[in-house]
Amino acid sequence: MMELTPAGLITLLTLNVFQTFTSPAERYEAIDRELTTLNPDVATFQEVKLGKSGASSIDHLLPSHAHRIVKGRPGGYVQAIVSRHPILRTLEVPFRNNRARMALGAVIAVPTPGGTREVLVLTTHLDYQLTHHSERRAQLKAIVAAAESFDGPVAVTGDLNFGDGEAESDAIPDTFTDVWRALNGAAPGYTWDREKNPMAKKGSLVGEPSRRLDRIFWRGGRALESRIVFNQRVRPADTTRPALFPSDHYGVFAKLEVR
């Protein structure tokens, strides 16, 4: 039996699962295997494949987590939130400058020593063009406005499509902790790793370096742990097949205190 997170804490994971036909069965096998090991309370996914029937590419992941939402158009920028704890309500944050993208939110009832605490988990997939700093800043401001209207702990997660020190970094207020950076100092924490991951190298824009695109920001308690995950090649069950990375992105895992 998997060990559950103690009351008053939440474990959270975010991963862009790479919406492509590149070795999907083997990649999702690898994603499933690592998710089972990590066993996060809440996982957020970007680039989910969604069929016209409503079935999605993440339906089989974390089968013990009964609470899930998947939003987006088939073939578009689909996002998902999967939770062990009950999802009380959901929200969508539209982006005026890009109707194909948005932020997806879920208010989740997280157990605490005194009962439960409502926690808002947001996930997003921002504009990707290297020069779209103002577009991403506007999208982040819409997300922050939604977060600041919520009276409780908030996590902002996802593929933000900008790296450390880029212009839009100042759109996230200091009331939010960049969990990886707070706990890992100056370590690069690349989740888009052109040097190591051939899928990232192949998918890079002209002039794009390795960057820390995928983040977890937290407001509502201490950040206790954060690490980069899905950053190693995995050997498929069919050992005649080569080992491969689960996605072109790496994921981020965090353990957080809920106040």
The domains of the chain are located at: 9-257
Q: What is the percentage of the chain residues whose pLDDT exceeds 90? A: 88
Residue 218, pLDDT above cutoff 90: yes
**Cβ atoms within 10 Å of 221's Cβ, excluding its own:** 17
Q: What is the mean pLDDT of the chain?
A: 95
Per-residue pLDDT band for 153 (boundaries 50, 70, 90) equals very high
The answer to whether the CB of 244 falls within 8 A of the CB of 234 is yes
Residue 2, pLDDT above cutoff 90: no
What is residue 205's DSSP assignment?
P
How much is the average pLDDT of 238-254?
Answer: 95
What is residue 237's DSSP assignment?
S
Assigned superfamily of 9-257? Endonuclease/exonuclease/phosphatase (3.60.10.10)
Residue 182, pLDDT above cutoff 90: yes
Q: How much is the pLDDT for 76?
A: 86
- pTM of the predicted structure, to 2 decimals: 0.96
Residue 21, pLDDT above cutoff 90: no
What is the enclosing helix (H) or strand (E) of 166?
Answer: none
Q: How much is the pLDDT for 22?
A: 66
Q: How much is the pLDDT for 7?
A: 94
d(CA 160, CA 137): 10
Pairing of strands 9-16, 42-48: parallel
How much is the average pLDDT of 215-231?
Answer: 98
For the beta sheet containing 223-229, the strands, ordered from the edge strand earlier in sequence to the opposite edge, are 67-71, 78-83, 42-48, 9-16, 251-257, 223-229
